[in-house]
Each structure stands twice: as C-alpha cells, then as structure tokens.
C-alpha cells in the first residue's frame, strides 16, 4: 500500500498511540488536548504529509474552517493591520480567511456581502463602511456568526471589537489644551458623503446612540468633553468634514482657512489627511507647529515619515484583528458574544509645540 493511501487519521492515530477522536481534536486545534500529546500528533501528521480534506472536515463538524473578513480599504494600514492580525490568529485555530475590500463604497460593500453569503464560511469579521438600518436587513448578517471590528455598538446583540476612540479624541484635545492651544479645529472623517447634512446636525448626534456607528463621532465626543472641562463651547466653525486621504486634507484645510476663523491647532482623522494639511499650510506660509499644532487621530505607520513628523494617537489595529478572531471563535463555540475595546496611546512628535 502506498504512503499516500496510509496517510489518514487512522494511520496517524496508530503511529501516535492515541484514539482517532484525539487525533481529530488535535488536528482541529481543540484546546482540551494535552499540549504535549497534541504536538506529537501534529509531528506525526507532518511526517506523513497529511493534508486534511476541507469537505471531510465540513461533513464531520459542519464547519469549513473558512472565515470571511470585509474591510473598506486594504491599502490603508488601519485595515491591513486588522487583516494581518486576524489571519495570524485564525491560523492558530487552523482556520483560513477570505479577504474582501470595497474601496470605501457602501454599494460595493453590500454587493460583496451578498456574494460572500453564497460561500461556505463559518463566520464573518465585518469592518463596515456604512451604518444605518440596512445593516440589519442584509441576509448574510442574519444567519452568520458575526463580529464587527473597528466600530462600537452598531447592531444590538452582536460582538464588537473596537479601539477607544472617545478616549483618543479626548487625549488629543487635552494634550493640545495643555500646550496652550484653545482654538482647536476638528476634521470629522467619513467615507465619501458624510452622513450629516450640516455641522449642527452632527453636533446634535454626538450624544445619541447613533454615535457609536462612526469612530469620528466617538472622537468628536472626546473632543467636546475635553473642551467642556475648561468651559469652551463646541463651535461648528471649528468643524470640517473630510475623507481619509491627502487630497481631502488639502481641500478641507482650504475650506477651514476660508472661514477666517482663528485657529491654533487641528485634529485630523489620520496621517494621510495630515499630509494634505501640511501641504496646504506650507503653501500659505503658515508654520506647523508654531502657528498651528497638528495631531493625527491615527498614525497609519507613516507619521514619522511625513515632512513634519506628526504627533499621533496610536491604535493597535493588529490587536483588533486578533481579538475579532477570538470573539468569533467564542461564538462558534456557542458562547455568548461580548464586546472588547483596545486602548490607545499618544505618540508626540514635531507637529505640536507650546504656544
């Protein structure tokens, strides 16, 4: 009999001196198997060149070992870090991940999710572009184990893994206030069209249940709280909508500057937007950090590389990806879903200075 025909679970069990059930659990990464025994089984399986059949695995457990993950834009490290963390953690569970990116487009997002619903995946990690009632109407989100990553409290009863964006907004604002900067502008980042028709409408939504649907709203809440502590009212003339790229940083800076409203600091969504801000104010012969200090709400691993290295809030998105897989596997193990929030920290560079 050929080696290939012998290479099955029965042969692994015989050579390992354990039961077929123990081999099956070890190969599937079941934590109940003694680590030393599990290691022995895996070594024997590797020596035999054993490759488990996905179809057989599905027939045995009704699980394919495949997870899906959908992100708005894979070229941004904010999301690619989530994907990398998820892929590496899923590998520990013996799972593979199908990755989809929708380029920040809510229509493309719905189309991809509907396509994904036809694949044999065990669960989904979802980093939404969109928000609103239609999320709960999508068929795939009704029948599939789901974890939402990067957002907070979007769908009741669903596990969410997020970073502490309210703290991030507060920390950035508090730091600028401590530098003597009291005229702080805030760029509210959204994919393409903002979900608000005006800045006053956005202000009214800060304390609503809707706020958790967008990281920018949580950050704005922290910004408002820090200002309130020193009796500064939130002023809509200091608010600007932007997207998440350098071009929007440039055009949003131009809009802000045209208002002729005094500012001495700016908080932006990420370091790509910061790049556009730096370009605009350089053209206006306005110094960053001396005339205007700049803080980025997300570093994107490029803050140190900008013309003026940018003070940034650091979000551990890799950890978000890892935790999302952990929570998804909790759900697959029939455990109650729970939320996780990853902490943030401030990294001070040359884009900020004492006034």
pLDDT-derived band at 138 (thresholds 50, 70, 90) equals: low
Query: 344-347 and 311-315 as β-strands: parallel, antiparallel, unpaired?
Result: antiparallel
Global pTM?
0.80
pLDDT at 163 exceeding the cut of 60: yes
Residues 294-325 pLDDT 10s: 999 999 999 999 999 999 999 999 999 999 99
Mean pLDDT for the chain overall: 88
Helix, strand or coil for residue 340? strand
Location of structure tokens 């969504």: 269
Q: What is the pLDDT of residue 29?
A: 67
- C-alpha Rg value of the chain to the nearest Å: 24
pLDDT (mean) for 181-187:
98
Q: Which residue has the higher pLDDT, 193 or 6?
A: 193
Q: Picking from 73-77, 111-115, 209-213, which range would have the lowest pLDDT averaged per residue?
A: 209-213
Alpha carbon of 285 to those of 140, 164, 182, 187: distances in Å? 52, 35, 21, 21
In order of start, what are the domains of the chain with their CATH numbers?
3-52 (1.10.260.40), 62-163+317-343 (3.40.50.2300), 165-315 (3.40.50.2300)
d(CA 266, CA 289): 10
Helix, strand or coil for residue 152? coil
pLDDT (mean) for 263-281:
98
Instruction: Tell which residue, 176, 297, 269, 185, has the closest CA to residue 229.
Output: 176
* % of residues, the chain, pLDDT over 90: 61
Helix, strand or coil for residue 113? helix
pLDDT-derived band at 139 (thresholds 50, 70, 90) equals: low
Q: Which residue has the higher pLDDT, 64 or 159?
A: 159
pLDDT-derived band at 130 (thresholds 50, 70, 90) equals: low
Return the bridge partners of 29, or none.
none
Instruction: Tell which residue, 234, 174, 228, 232, has the closest CA to residue 202.
Output: 234
Alpha helices by DSSP H, listed for the chain, are 3-6, 9-16, 20-27, 35-47, 54-61, 77-92, 106-116, 134-137, 139-143, 165-178, 199-204, 215-229, 246-258, 271-283, 317-332
d(CA 165, CA 347): 15
* % of residues, the chain, pLDDT over 70: 90
Strand order in the sheet with 66-71: 96-101, 66-71, 123-126, 146-149, 159-163, 340-342
For residue 94 the two structure tokens come to: 């013996």
Q: Which residue has the higher pLDDT, 10 or 8?
A: 10
Cα angle, residue 164 at apex, residues 158 and 170 outer, rounded to 5°: 140
pLDDT-derived band at 61 (thresholds 50, 70, 90) equals: low
Instruction: Tell which residue, 341, 175, 338, has the closest CA to residue 267.
Output: 175
DSSP readout, 19-35? -HHHHHHHHTT-TTS-H
Q: Which residue has the higher pLDDT, 29 or 162?
A: 162
For residue 81 the two structure tokens come to: 């870090």
């Amino acid at each position: 009999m050929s080696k290939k025909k012998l290479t099955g679970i029965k042969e692994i069990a015989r050579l390992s001196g354990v039961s077929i059930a123990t081999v099956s659990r070890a190969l599937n990464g079941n934590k109940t198997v003694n680590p030393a025994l599990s290691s022995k089984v895996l070594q024997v399986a590797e020596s035999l060149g054993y490759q488990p059949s996905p179809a057989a695995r599905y027939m045995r457990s009704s699980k394919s070992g495949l997870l899906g993950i959908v992100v708005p834009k894979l070229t941004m490290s904010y999301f690619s870090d989530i994907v990398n963390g998820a892929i590496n953690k899923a590998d520990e569970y013996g799972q593979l991940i199908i990755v989809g990116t929708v380029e920040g487009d809510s229509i493309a997002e719905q189309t991809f999710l509907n396509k994904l619903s036809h694949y044999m995946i065990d669960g989904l990690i979802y980093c939404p572009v969109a928000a609103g009632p239609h999320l709960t109407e999508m068929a795939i989100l009704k029948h599939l184990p789901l974890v939402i990553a990067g957002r907070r409290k979007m769908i009741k009863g669903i596990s969410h893994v997020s970073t502490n964006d309210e703290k991030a907004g507060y920390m950035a604002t508090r730091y600028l206030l401590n530098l003597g900067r009291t005229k702080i502008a805030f760029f509210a980042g959204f994919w393409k069209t903002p979900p608000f028709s005006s800045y006053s409408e956005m202000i009214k939504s800060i304390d609503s249940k809707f706020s958790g649907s967008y990281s920018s709203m949580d950050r704005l809440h922290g910004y408002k709280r820090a200002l309130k502590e020193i009796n500064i009212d939130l002023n809509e003339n200091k608010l600007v909508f932007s997207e998440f790229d350098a071009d929007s940083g440039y055009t949003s800076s131009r809009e802000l500057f045209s208002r002729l409203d005094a500012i001495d600091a700016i908080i932006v969504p990420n370091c790509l937007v910061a790049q556009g801000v730096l370009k605009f104010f350089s053209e206006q012969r306005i110094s960053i950090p001396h005339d205007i200090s700049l803080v980025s709400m997300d570093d994107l691993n490029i803050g140190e590389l900008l013309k003026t290295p940018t003070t940034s809030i650091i979000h551990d998105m890799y950890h978000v990806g890892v935790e999302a897989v952990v929570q998804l596997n909790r759900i697959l193990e029939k455990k109650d879903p729970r939320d996780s929030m990853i902490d943030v920290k401030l990294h001070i560079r040359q884009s900020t200075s004492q006034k």
